[in-house]
Chains A and B, each alone.
Chain A
Amino acid sequence: MDLPLFLQQLLNGISLGSLYALIAIGYTMVYGIIRLINFAHGDVLMVSTYFTYFGISVYALPWWLSVIIAILLTALLGILIDLGAYRPVRHAPRVSALITAIGVSFLLENLGLVVFGGRPKAFYRPDFLNKTYELAGVHVFSLSIWVPLVTALLLVLVFLLLYRTRVGAAMRAVAKDMEMVQLMGVDVNRVISLAFAVGSALAAAGGIMWAMKYPQINPLMGIIPGLKAFVAAVLGGIGNIHGAVLGGFLLGVMEILLVAFLPSLAGYRDAFAFILLILILLFRPTGLVGKGASG
């Protein structure tokens, strides 16, 4: 394999990894605070793509406006799911919460099938993303550059939120010691809702970019990216936001390079993430960055 091809694949990997990172943050934020694996997280990103789709095709809104509205609506959806399904089982045994999350995931998927139908729909991709540039012998797809850029911007915003605002500090505190924070008069429920909102918004951004990449959407599209982003979160260290970002990029790059170097194993691409997950949980369950509060 020659250098230009390798660089191209590396860029693909970083691009894919950005999407995993964005989605992984949502998992890790929620787990860090309420110790719940939000199975429905991947499906939430699916809903965001449909929101965008309807904005563009039904309401004839400009694409960027649809995207923004979709992200906001998805954040709201995240809050509603927490309120409706997870809060009632907040004090139930952990298994109950897990089962509830699986139920919500299935509900979203099948509701999607019922409302939108199973056939994939073509997703809009703005023109400027369709171009291909050539840099030093490498064919670079415009989208592949924009995704990491947008991701970087969003990550900066998230870290600003967590480290420069009071609500961010509250989120980090709740992840460390919920009881203590409650005793100090902080409304923990509000913090949890915020975590769901931010996580879902990021997943929405990731999902919309994913939809632009492929470019089609269907009600079951969130399952695989969701599971892989979860693996990324665990790889980095579940509950740790830096870990989620690191894990996301690592997983994306590893996956692309695997397919590039060993094309005969391409069919095992999805299994690779699971095998990696099993290995991590067995040998280093605290992940690469280790256990910490969210951030």
Chain B
Amino acid sequence: MSDWRGRDRTYRLCAYGSILCLFAFLFLVENYADEYQIRILNVSAIFVTMAVSYNLINGVAGQFSLGPNAFMAVGAYTTALLTISPAEKELCFIIEPIIWPLSVLHLPFLPSLLIGGTFAALLGFIMAFPVFRVRGDYLAIVTLGFGEVVRVVANNTQSITNGPLGLKGLPEYTNLWWSWGVAVFTVFCVTRLVKSSFGRAMQAIREDEVAAAAMGINVFRHKMLAFVVHAFFAGMAGGLMAHLVTTISPTLFSFFLTFNLLVIIVIGGLGSMTGSIIAAIIITYAGEWLRAVEEPMAIGPFNIPGIPGMRMVVFAIMLILVMIFARQGLMGRREFSWEWFCGFLRTGERRG
């Protein structure tokens, strides 16, 4: 019994150790890598946050939502409207002045980010009531509809969101520490939730909703929990993204974004947090690498013209192939565990 507890402590130390390694790595990158590399790492972190939270509702709770873009939009806009200085806001809102109190509010990054996440979570809470009255395909379409409605609203409320013009002049707060810090925090919270009794309840709902209810699980409440937690972290991811690109508009939060997330969680494995993390990083880098395919290339005497849009064609084909041939994705529903890792190392030792 005590040996088991000691092993547990060792694993926990391993986890802390690897986080320290991550931060050491980030420190090196920040000081020695070029801007391009840093930017990709930032984007990866944001996608990790989004993917892990998206997997909670889609993969763990089994409720297929196609509207994560709505929460990112809410988080992004809320955070931005709080961090942009009143002077900048006046410059931005040329068609219609921004409403009070937004015109005078000006907060630092962390509270703005948290408020952004909270507003997104609030939207998730409200949405849960209509959304979870349906299931399966209908749930997907309803959430897709909400995603579109949010985008259209953002496009039309000139005095709050500045409509199609969007917001400019966002302070460039997002750096490696913010993006990866939030990512680590998200992974921590979501993984802890999934491994807890609540996570089991969500998985039970995914496996068999009727049986779960018969065993005393309040199905609606747990679906809502997954949804709200997903919304909160998606909102924070949106806020981070906004302060990376420093300009946001409604078109940034279209179904296109949802599609990218879908590719990530499917390839990673619906229901595996580890899979989402790995896939988020891989897909971000693959996307960048494929961007090269879209530029014209000179190979020897040949000049191959660039093919814009090819990236998404590749992703779409990948998605279809994964669905047909490898529905489980990379990890299926399995997770990384220190136990497995140490076992893996040990067999390596024995063989080596």
- For the A-B complex, the count of residue pairs with Cβ-Cβ distances under 8 Å equals 107
In the complex the two chains form, is A282's CB within 8 Å of B133's CB?
A: yes
Residue of B nearest to A276 (CB): B145
Pick from A92-100, A126-134, A163-171, A189-197 the stretch touching chain B. A92-100
Distance in angstroms between the alpha carbons of A109 and B152 in the assembled complex: 21
- Tell me, yes or no, whether B262 is within 8 Å of chain A by CB: yes
Contacting residues, chain A, for B270 (C-beta < 8 A): 95
B264-307 vs A, Cβ < 8 Å mask (1 yes, 0 no):
00100010000000000000000000000000000000000001
- Tell me, yes or no, whether B13 is within 8 Å of chain A by CB: no
Q: How far is the CB of A90 from chain B (nearest CB, A)?
A: 11
Q: How far is the CB of B258 from chain A (nearest CB, A)?
A: 9
Interface of A is mostly: helix
- Tell me, yes or no, whether B313 is within 8 Å of chain A by CB: yes
In the complex the two chains form, is A100's CB within 8 Å of B324's CB?
A: yes
In the complex the two chains form, is B152's CB within 8 Å of A114's CB?
A: no
Distance in angstroms between the alpha carbons of A285 and B145 in the assembled complex: 15
Contacting residues, chain A, for B315 (C-beta < 8 A): 106
Interface of B is mostly: helix
Partner of A110, one of B133, B152, B155, B312: B312
In the complex the two chains form, is B266's CB within 8 Å of A277's CB?
A: no
Contacting residues, chain A, for B320 (C-beta < 8 A): 85, 100, 103-104, 107
Partner of B142, one of A111, A114, A270, A278: A278
B131-160 vs A, Cβ < 8 Å mask (1 yes, 0 no):
001101110111001101100110110000
Contacting residues, chain B, for A103 (C-beta < 8 A): 316-317, 319-320, 323
Partner of A285, one of B138, B148, B152, B323: B138
In the A-B complex, the 6 residue pairs with the closest CB atoms: A107-B316, A113-B309, A274-B145, A271-B152, A103-B319, A110-B312
Name B's A-contacting residues (CB within 8 A): 64, 66, 130, 133-134, 136-138, 140-142, 145-146, 148-149, 152-153, 155-156, 259, 262, 266, 270, 307-310, 312-313, 315-317, 319-320, 323-324, 327
A267-B155, A271-B153 given; 12 more Cβ-contact pairs under 8 Å:
A88-B324, A92-B323, A94-B137, A96-B327, A110-B310, A114-B308, A114-B313, A268-B156, A275-B149, A281-B138, A282-B133, A282-B134
Show 7 residue pairs from A and B whose CB-CB distance is below 8 angstroms, ordered by the A residue: A95-B136, A99-B266, A103-B317, A107-B316, A114-B313, A267-B156, A271-B149
